[in-house]
Structure 1
Amino acid sequence: MNVEGTNGVGKTHLSRQAAERLGPRCVPLVELPDAPPAGLPGQVIAALHQDGDLFLRTGHPRTETLLLMGLQVHRFESLGPVTPGQVVLEDRGPHSVAIYQAAVLAETEQHSDEQALTTAWHILSTIESWRPQPTATILLFDDPRRCLQRFEQRIGRTATASERSLMARADRLYRLLAHTQQGQYYVLDRQQVDEPHAVAFITDVCQRAAAAATPKGAVPCPTGT
């Protein structure tokens, strides 16, 4: 299963706490930008990050999209066996690549949010051709101002206008995704729950996913609730 949302929404923080609660039943996967530098994903990320853009924008959005899609497939193919009762907890999976790259392309080509969401679906379906989609996907939301504040605290500076614009677009696309695909995702709004309840929510979804985990470690298509 995977946890998705815009920068600063708390995916990594909450996922780590959920993974600690689950113990050895959980196989955590860090988001791609945090991949070990020695491996193939880390080397590709470093190449995309060489100009210092935190969103891996090099000026070639289609090439970037293909590379990030490939890394999502590589991540699945590199996943070791997952025994029954275990669950893979992915910090940002295929949906992040789809939403953020669709947002980048929309900014470049001046597309509407609706057009960008269509692009996101095309990216997702292409990834799905090479790796199964997660059993369950949690979409995290929060006040965009709080997300921006956490993001700026993490990077140690004020976000640029370009970064703020991209984050705002990604937030809108995630919300549009949740609205147009009601019942397909687990949706958690942090404005409505405190941190302990948010961790409990993620843990509970993980436990449901663990109950459905296959011996081969495959991550089946979304079921949602």
Structure 2
Amino acid sequence: MVNYVNVHAYHLSFKDQAFRNILNRSDIVFCDGFGVKLGAKMLGLRLGERMTPPDWIDELFAMCENEKVSIYFLGDEDYVVKRFTEMVGEKFPNLRIAGYNNGFFSKSSDENNRVINDINASGAEILITGMGMPLQEKWAFEHREQLRPKVVIGAGALFRWYAKIEKRGPRIVTDNGFEWLWRLFVQPKKVWKRYIIELPYFFMVVLKYKFTGK
């Protein structure tokens, strides 16, 4: 299980013990946010580079294409995941795309079993989920014993960004810690709570821990 943490993830984990446990039990958790890097630095901790899926996913696809590793895509709306799959297939024509499915299926009915069976029957070795946090992490963790892919990667809004349905900021913005400002500017209704409420709260928690150890 490969998951990521950004300030939003930490904010959710403060309130959701189950989600926090899933992150702590994941095999790999990578940093997906400059806020997390800054928070770690304030506590005297050293993290590796920020790794957001849109920046490295093509490297994974190229490696899988070369090594004949098959991938299944699960998440977002039908037209989004379909367009994403088409674009990946055009860019990596020899990549083994085992299948895809939207993320808006019932998680507590026979439809859930159908999706799991489809993933397993596809022979996919890697499953990439884009159902949003914390749904994608909780779903993958709950069904980890049933799913046959060897690796499950949570990727958030990757499908939407890759398919250019939502536009990311220019690299000079995203590579220098200001992607949050760009998203607040272009998607204020969607992300305002993350950056107006969650970001200051995160740093309050970091400072409290720094000076009190709690």
TM-score, normalised to structure 1, is: 0.28
| Bigger-Rg structure (1/2) | 2
- Indicate the structure with greater strand content: 2
Structure with the bigger RCO (C-alpha within 8 Å, sep 6+) is: 1
TM-score, normalised to structure 2, is: 0.29
